[in-house]
Amino acid sequence: TVVDEKLEGRKGVRKKGVDGQVRSFKEIPHTGRSGWVNLVKFWREDRFRQLHKHMERTFNALGPIYREHLGTQSSVNIILPSDIGELFRSEGLHPERMTLQPWATHRETRHYSKGVFLKNGEEWRVDRLLLNKEVMMSAAVKRFLPLLDEVARDFCRMMQAKVEREGRGEEGKRSLTIDPSPDIFRFALEASCNVIYGERIGLFSSSPSLESQKFIWAVEQMLVTTPPLLYLPHRLLLRIGAPLWTQHATAWDHIFSHAEARIQRWYQRLSSSQGRGSEAGASGGQYSGVLGQLMEKGQLSLDLIKANVTEMMAGGVDTTAVPLQFALFELGRNPEVQERVRQQVRASWEQAGGDPQKALQGAPLLKGTIKEILRLYPVATTVQRRTIKDTILQNYHIPAGTLVQVCLYPLGRSADVFAAPQRFEPDRWVNNGEKGQTVEGSSFRSLAFGFGARQCVGRRIAENEMQLLLMHILLSFHLSVTSSEDIKTTCTLILQPETPPRITFRKL
Q: Does 383 bind ligand HEM (CB under 6 A)?
A: yes
397 alpha-carbon distance from chain centroid? 31
* Cβ atoms 467, 357 nearer than 8 A: no
Stretch that binds ligand HEM, among 220-228, 307-315, 342-350, 477-485 (CB under 6 A): 307-315
Stretch that binds ligand HEM, among 35-43, 318-326, 348-356, 391-399 (CB under 6 A): 318-326
DSSP character at residue 457: T
Q: Does 252 bind ligand HEM (CB under 6 A)?
A: no
* Cβ atoms 68, 29 nearer than 8 A: no
Which run of H or E residues covers position 186? helix 181-197
Query: Which residue, 186 or 454, has its beta carbon nearer to ligand HEM?
Result: 454
Among 181, 288, 320, 369, binds ligand HEM (CB under 6 A): 320
Q: Does 319 bind ligand HEM (CB under 6 A)?
A: yes
Beta bridge partners of 397: 392
Shortest approach of ligand HEM to residue 306 CB, angstroms? Answer: 13
Query: Which residue, 93 or 210, has its beta carbon nearer to ligand HEM?
Result: 93
- Rounded to an integer, what distance in angstroms lies between the CA atom of residue 484 and that of residue 248? 36
Q: Does 450 bind ligand HEM (CB under 6 A)?
A: yes
Among 103, 252, 449, 505, binds ligand HEM (CB under 6 A): 449
Q: Does 29 bind ligand HEM (CB under 6 A)?
A: no
Q: Does 462 bind ligand HEM (CB under 6 A)?
A: yes
Shortest approach of ligand HEM to residue 225 CB, angstroms? Answer: 19
156 is in an annotated binding site: no
Stretch that binds ligand HEM, among 54-62, 146-154, 315-323, 414-422 (CB under 6 A): 315-323
Strands in 477-481's sheet, in edge-to-edge order, are 175-178, 503-507, 477-481
Among 114, 454, 472, 506, binds ligand HEM (CB under 6 A): 454
Query: Which residue, 229 or 494, has its beta carbon nearer to ligand HEM?
Result: 494
Among 147, 312, 327, 470, binds ligand HEM (CB under 6 A): 312
Q: Does 198 bind ligand HEM (CB under 6 A)?
A: no
Which run of H or E residues covers position 323? helix 318-333
Q: Does 477 bind ligand HEM (CB under 6 A)?
A: no
Stretch that binds ligand HEM, among 41-49, 252-260, 313-321, 389-397 (CB under 6 A): 313-321
Shortest approach of ligand HEM to residue 426 CB, angstroms? Answer: 16
Q: What is the 3-state secondary structure (H, E, C) of 351-377?
A: HHCCCHHHHHHCCHHHHHHHHHHHHHC
Q: What is the largest CA-CA distance in the chain?
A: 78
Stretch that binds ligand HEM, among 220-228, 232-240, 378-386, 433-441 (CB under 6 A): 378-386
185 Rama sector, left if φ>0, alpha if ψ -120 to 50, beta otherwise: alpha
Q: Does 97 bind ligand HEM (CB under 6 A)?
A: yes
Residue 414's SS3 state is coil
Query: Which residue, 219 or 383, has its beta carbon nearer to ligand HEM?
Result: 383
Mask of contacts with ligand HEM, 55-94, x by CB under 6 A? Answer: ----------------------------------------
- Rounded to an integer, what distance in angstroms lies between the CA atom of residue 128 and that of residue 138? 16
Query: Which residue, 197 or 245, has its beta carbon nearer to ligand HEM?
Result: 197
* Cβ atoms 405, 382 nearer than 8 A: yes
Angle among Cα 129, 134, 137 to the nearest 5 degrees reads 75
Angle among Cα 256, 262, 268 to the nearest 5 degrees reads 130
**C-beta atoms surrounding 395 within 10 Å:** 16
Mask of contacts with ligand HEM, 275-304, x by CB under 6 A? Answer: ------------------------------
CA-derived radius of gyration, the chain = 23
Angstrom distances, CA of residue 121 to CA of 94, 118, 135: 5, 11, 21
Residue type, 186: R
Q: Does 324 bind ligand HEM (CB under 6 A)?
A: no
All residues at 6 or more sequence positions from 317 whose CB lies less than 8 Å from its CB, including other chains? 185, 188, 189, 192, 216, 219
Shortest approach of ligand HEM to residue 80 CB, angstroms? Answer: 18
Q: Does 412 bind ligand HEM (CB under 6 A)?
A: no
| Count of positions on this chain that bind ligand HEM (CB under 6 A) | 26
All residues at 6 or more sequence positions from 411 whose CB lies less than 8 Å from its CB, including other chains? 79, 81, 84, 417, 445, 447
Angle among Cα 105, 130, 406 to the nearest 5 degrees reads 55
φ and ψ at 12, to 5 degrees? 90, -175
Residue type, 343: Q
Angstrom distances, CA of residue 423 to CA of 5, 333, 382, 419, 428: 33, 11, 22, 9, 10
Shortest approach of ligand HEM to residue 494 CB, angstroms? Answer: 8
Shortest approach of ligand HEM to residue 294 CB, angstroms? Answer: 13
- What residues between 116 and 175 interact with ligand HEM by CB under 6 A? 116-117, 128
Query: Which residue, 174 or 454, has its beta carbon nearer to ligand HEM?
Result: 454
Footprint on this chain of ligand HEM (rule: CB under 6 A) = 97, 116-117, 128, 311-312, 315-316, 319-320, 323, 374, 379-380, 383, 448-451, 454-458, 461-462
- Annotated binding-site ranges: 456
- Annotated binding-site ranges for heme: 456
